[in-house]
Chain A
């Protein structure tokens, strides 16, 4: 993790994505926007994992055809793949719940639909 600039750009992007996502989740009232916020958060963390495994000038970690060269780390990529799949499942479930909330209340505003206060 040296301080050369091109390598750090992904980390800046990660920080930006995560902070945007957390801001959205906390401040927005529209349920769809909250879902989008979580999706952005997931993207930010996936980018973080991928960046961790990146080695400068590395090639894809496929053993059979790879030249004898620097390879990027395979484990973070496996992790990212898994987490993308999980994020998709979560996203689908969240959106379907939003649809059924909309059917019941006719609104996707979290303030209006929240009838369980206290």
Chain B
């Protein structure tokens, strides 16, 4: 249902758009709000009753007379629904923001159609229980994403960003498909749960794992493959950048679903965990140092994104490294995973906010170059406060949400290896420096003459940004509640491989 509604709505949108623009806007927002509502209902149900399995076209996961699941199925546990909540929130806010932001552009019908397709693709990636479906939805998300990146085609750099994005996603998706082929060759299975049960960790499985990690790391923009990310993020319309952020979180989800659920205990855990940790460390370090020397506001935030996804990888990598060791897992492994997952939603929230603010500035003054800005704080008071809020949250300053999740990561990582935690704190401090530079050059100082009549941004953009800001502050003030209700169940779902398999295969005798 949750996937089907945006998909259907996507194809209905151009039709309604023909009748009137306003009806279309209302239609898009109601369908997304309805989806968000469904997600929340489902989330409540899952936290109370455990995971859900939907088999398309049949009532039972395994048809009578078969030993293995042959149908396509969706499998939703608390981690998937957690990702679903992120996607629903960010897309709703992005749509509200787009109403004003895209006013100057043409082709609104296509814009919202693609946007809904992107939402459908992301939900599909998060909820699917089938490897091949994962690939299909990955492609839906990346094709519509690339088209949206290149949407403002009158700028010379938009199609380039879009081209980079589509090339990168096409390569990584084909790598995923190749790995799926390897699985199918060995086990004749495509279902994640069934595969996890059959997994024997042969040489080919190791190859497939390497290919999958590489593929999703490309999509995530971790460091050896991060070159596309700033180019793409800086040219996309701001609301789309926030959406792409959620899309790369969906790939992050896929990466961890594969590491934890598909391979799980059969995995040579310490090695893979360390690979993920090293990827994370490089991302953090190179991301933040590159951010320091940017003069383009959106590129600066994009490099900071690379850095923040490094933090998530660090937390989850530590969790992965100790997965085979129950004692370490209980003392700090679960906390590391929970912190990583918490940071995932925080990452989407505050980076989303920063991109929206950067978009708002671009909307009013038409440049992203920090050297040309100045004194905007006098003219756009509200925007500058929101930027400061997002920046502080991102650098992990209390009482914002970034602090809450980063402290979890630091604490747990420190018990694993103190040096990692120290590097993490160092990176956070540099992040603060990055944003202070950006803040002072953009917002403080005297009002520049050429920006005399710059005004505050329109209302719908304001609502979008303010909603994000409110969520950030709430998460920062009540981290305990968030952990209890959202991230701890998600972390447990990630660790508990058996439950996921049982959901598909029934209780194994």
A interface residue numbers (CB < 8 A to B) = 1, 18, 25, 31, 34, 38, 41-42, 45, 48-49, 52, 73, 75-76, 79, 82-83, 86, 89-90, 93-94, 97-98, 100-101, 104-105, 113-116, 118
Tell whether, in the assembled complex, residue A113 and residue B160 are in contact, meaning their CB atoms are under 8 Å apart. Answer: yes
Tell whether, in the assembled complex, residue B181 and residue A101 are in contact, meaning their CB atoms are under 8 Å apart. Answer: no
Tell whether, in the assembled complex, residue A93 and residue B167 are in contact, meaning their CB atoms are under 8 Å apart. Answer: no
- From residue B195, how far is it (CB to closest CB) to chain A in Å? 14
Report the number of A-B residue pairs with Cβ-Cβ less than 8 Å.
Answer: 90
Which of A45, A76, A97, A101 is within 8 Å of B174, CB to CB? Answer: A45
Report the Cα distance A72→B66, complex, angstroms: 19
Whether B362 sits at the interface, judged by CB under 8 Å, is no
Report the Cα distance A94→B173, complex, angstroms: 15
Within 8 A of A (CB), among B198-239: 230-231, 234-235
Tell whether, in the assembled complex, residue A48 and residue B178 are in contact, meaning their CB atoms are under 8 Å apart. Answer: yes
Tell whether, in the assembled complex, residue B171 and residue A115 are in contact, meaning their CB atoms are under 8 Å apart. Answer: no
> Which residues does chain A contribute within 8 Å of B77, judged by CB atoms?
none
Which of A41, A49, A100, A113 is within 8 Å of B181, CB to CB? Answer: A49
> Which residues does chain A contribute within 8 Å of B147, judged by CB atoms?
93
A41-B174, A118-B294 as given contacts; A75 in contact with B160, CB under 8 Å: no
A97-B146, A116-B157 as given contacts; A86 in contact with B136, CB under 8 Å: yes
Report the Cα distance A79→B231, complex, angstroms: 33
- From residue A14, how far is it (CB to closest CB) to chain B in Å? 9
Residue of B nearest to A38 (CB): B170
What is the interface size of chain B, counting residues whose CB is below 8 A from a CB of the partner? 37
Report the Cα distance A115→B208, complex, angstroms: 36
Tell whether, in the assembled complex, residue A118 and residue B299 are in contact, meaning their CB atoms are under 8 Å apart. Answer: yes
Report the Cα distance A108→B146, complex, angstroms: 19
Tell whether, in the assembled complex, residue B156 and residue A104 are in contact, meaning their CB atoms are under 8 Å apart. Answer: yes
User: Closest 3 interchain pairs by CB?
Assistant: A104-B156, A100-B159, A97-B163
> Which residues does chain B contribute within 8 Å of A101, judged by CB atoms?
159-160, 163
Report the Cα distance A34→B166, complex, angstroms: 11
Tell whether, in the assembled complex, residue A116 and residue B174 are in contact, meaning their CB atoms are under 8 Å apart. Answer: no
> Which residues does chain A contribute within 8 Å of B74, judged by CB atoms?
none
B interface residue numbers (CB < 8 A to A) = 132, 135-136, 139, 143, 146-147, 150, 153, 156-157, 159-163, 166-167, 170-171, 173-174, 177-178, 180-181, 184-185, 188, 190, 230-231, 234-235, 293-294, 299
Report the Cα distance A82→B146, complex, angstroms: 20
Which of B167, B174, B184, B188 is within 8 Å of A42, CB to CB? Answer: B174
> Which residues does chain A contribute within 8 Å of B173, judged by CB atoms?
86
A-B contact pairs, 25 of them (CB 8 A): A25-B167, A25-B171, A34-B167, A38-B171, A42-B170, A45-B177, A45-B178, A45-B181, A48-B178, A49-B181, A79-B177, A86-B136, A86-B139, A89-B139, A89-B143, A90-B166, A93-B143, A97-B166, A98-B163, A100-B150, A116-B157, A116-B230, A116-B235, A118-B294, A118-B299
Interface residues of A, dominant DSSP: helix
- From residue B183, how far is it (CB to closest CB) to chain A in Å? 10
Report the Cα distance A104→B157, complex, angstroms: 9
Tell whether, in the assembled complex, residue A82 and residue B234 are in contact, meaning their CB atoms are under 8 Å apart. Answer: no
Report the Cα distance A52→B161, complex, angstroms: 36
> Which residues does chain B contribute within 8 Å of A31, judged by CB atoms?
163
Report the Cα distance A83→B143, complex, angstroms: 13
- From residue A118, how far is it (CB to closest CB) to chain B in Å? 7
Tell whether, in the assembled complex, residue B132 and residue A79 are in contact, meaning their CB atoms are under 8 Å apart. Answer: yes
Report the Cα distance A1→B161, complex, angstroms: 43
> Which residues does chain A contribute within 8 Å of B231, judged by CB atoms?
116
Tell whether, in the assembled complex, residue B171 and residue A116 are in contact, meaning their CB atoms are under 8 Å apart. Answer: no
Residue of A nearest to B161 (CB): A116
- From residue A84, how far is it (CB to closest CB) to chain B in Å? 11
Q: Which of A48, A49, A114, A116 has the most CB of B within 10 A?
A: A116
Which of B139, B181, B299 is within 8 Å of A90, CB to CB? Answer: B139
A41-B171, A45-B177, A93-B147 as given contacts; A116 in contact with B234, CB under 8 Å: yes
